[in-house]
Structure 1
């Protein structure tokens, strides 16, 4: 009996060794992904819990406490209106995450649907879709977002829409390429033979097999969306005062950078850490979801 148990244990170990590692195991072996994931986790915690425990009102002015340097009472100092910079940075985390989620949601949904339909149907619809994508790609993303905001008007909701539309072509191109490589595969042909509708083939058979690169692109694009929103707010086209948005805080702090350095420094560090965290996490997801591509890059 002991010998049979040992043989069974050995067979189970062999099956486990032959099984491909899970996504979590692949990510846990990627130090950059762990660092990026830790930064993103801290950012999420700050965005969810921070505003509930922030020591001050982010928009309440106290002119008697203007330009106070960092201290125990005000860890990040105060700004030109006496507002606590630490509190405003905490509230800004929630705004930046909201901008990133909505902008990437718009870009990923519209771009993926466009690429899915044009790649599968082909013909004139594909040509028209690619013409639209080419027109959008003719403009730099930030310039396109500026043009959209010029039509819609400044404000945080319009920034989300503008950044989302400006990021849409990348998702459309990626999804179209994935669909073109899958729509003639055997499992899709088998679905056609048994009478599945085009909608079922698209959304049940093809779409789930294209999500991995879209997830990677979204994780990398999140950092770009946060950065673009901060840039638009920095030039006055995004969040309007007194909203505690990091780009707008940078714009205020640049006027006092020589003497009151903390007003611009801490929002800038928050933006840099957010972009770094999502870029590292996206790089780790790319390696984890595409191990063959990772091996090829290492071989080069």
Structure 2
């Protein structure tokens, strides 16, 4: 059995760890609230861009923009995998990396690993695919240390440049979509070429939308300046950047939610361990006291017998 000193040392170590995990939970909760606010403020603008592009496509050829045009044959793929820069978030990164590996193994097995390119946003994904010999494109480790909208533009520039040069014929983004603190939805979305179903005309949901959209929700005829073609050329890259930005915000919120739950579980487990250690300590101390009492009693009895008392 461990000595009382060893048990006290372990109790002190577990207490310190519990304080750290409790503090990390509180920090993750604060970051989660901020991440959710950023998602909510981003959605309306991204929605309106998608709606506007949908109207433009109705006026023009559905394949008017080159980003809408699929390649005749897919010989190379770029996967944009959005992970975290830090650990201590439970299975957040592990589950996402499994989804990415499954897509590579099942959907793109015929291309060969040399034709699978990975752009990892976050240190965990960069190290994971780098250790497995994949062709890493760009270096976005530390992106979540100071998450800003221009980072999504930098990622998009790399993807578009390779698309135009013919390095890859398909671009997908794999990320964790935030649902709640205990659940994330692993998403794999096609980014290039832009799928046509991404721009279905949205259905109006309330009376105010109908009133603002015309009589009884009828279609509205827009006048575009300078031209529909010029607006489409301007809006499509911005829409794609907002798609990436949304994926990064969703992943950031999901990461903080997963870390909050992981730290809460760690704090609870530390509490249970402290109970067991205190019980062990009390038993060991009681056994030591009992042993001392027996030794004192035995010594007193031996002294009494020796003195003939």
TM-score (norm 1): 0.30
Between Structure 1 and Structure 2, which shows a larger proportion of strand residues?
Answer: 2
Name which one, 1 or 2, has greater alpha-carbon Rg: 2
Between Structure 1 and Structure 2, which shows a larger proportion of helix residues?
Answer: 1
TM-score (norm 2): 0.29
